[in-house]
Amino acid sequence: MTVIKTHQSIKIMPKKLIIKMARNGKGIFAAKAFKQGEIIETISGKLVHHERASKLWDENARKAENLFRYCGTRYLSPEGELGDYSNHSCNPNSGVIKNKGKLFWIAINDIKRGQETLIDYSTIIGADDAWTMKCNCGEKECRKIIRSIDKLPKKILDRYLKLGIIPRYILNTMKKARP
């Protein structure tokens, strides 16, 4: 079993990941190759309750856009951490998993050195989250609008379920949203 250290700052990550300019602002790039299924990094940040997360939309939408759903009632704010630079793709090469109370990026495809690591934001947006965003990923199969997990096309949802990159608490929001 791989031992994973929690990093407190992006400054100590240059051996595995690099922050640099990408298609959509700054992004996270692989400083080494990652094999499918390999853990890329721990997602660090401050946990905030959903009421605080809701207030962030009024106070600072930029910060709110970067929140990762952590559980049913809390979000992880990666402000100043690596997660602040995570970009979306409708054809991602990585995903988010939760294990033993921590969130991790995991490679869902082989990722070459120098390639940007991209997730599908829909996998971390619960059916009870009202968040949407215009997509600018540039993929041939771009969905144009990033929405919550329950709005994913069935084929894509099934693929992500098979890969195990939709955290259980996100799946639970789908069950609650159904009549």
- Residue 179: predicted pLDDT: 52
Residue 171: both structure tokens together: 């799946």
- Residue 6: predicted pLDDT: 37
Task: Give the global pTM.
Answer: 0.84
How many angstroms from the chain centroid is the CA of residue 162?
17
- Has residue 4 got a pLDDT over 70? no
- Residue 149: predicted pLDDT: 94
41-70: burial string, b at 16+ Cβ within 10 Å, e else: bbbbbeebebebbeebeeeeeebbebbbbb
Decide which of 123 and 12 is more confident: 123
* Residue 30 identity: A
- Residue 115: predicted pLDDT: 97
pLDDT digits (tens, 9 = 90+) for 60-109: 776 767 777 888 888 777 777 778 889 999 999 999 998 888 889 999 99
- Residue 97: predicted pLDDT: 92
Decide which of 124 and 177 is more confident: 124
H-assigned helices in the chain? 50-59, 61-65, 154-163, 168-177
Residue 59: both structure tokens together: 């106070």
* Model confidence band, residue 177 (pLDDT cutoffs 50, 70, 90): low
CATH superfamily of 13-177: SET domain (2.170.270.10)
DSSP assignment of 148-170 equals: -GGGS-HHHHHHHHHHT-S-HHH
- Expressed in angstroms, the distance from the first to the final Cα of the chain is 41
- Residue 171: predicted pLDDT: 93
pLDDT digits (tens, 9 = 90+) for 129-174: 878 889 999 999 999 999 999 999 999 999 999 999 999 989 999 8
CB 151 within 8 A of CB 120: no
pLDDT digits (tens, 9 = 90+) for 10-64: 333 447 999 999 988 899 999 999 999 999 998 888 888 878 877 877 787 767 6
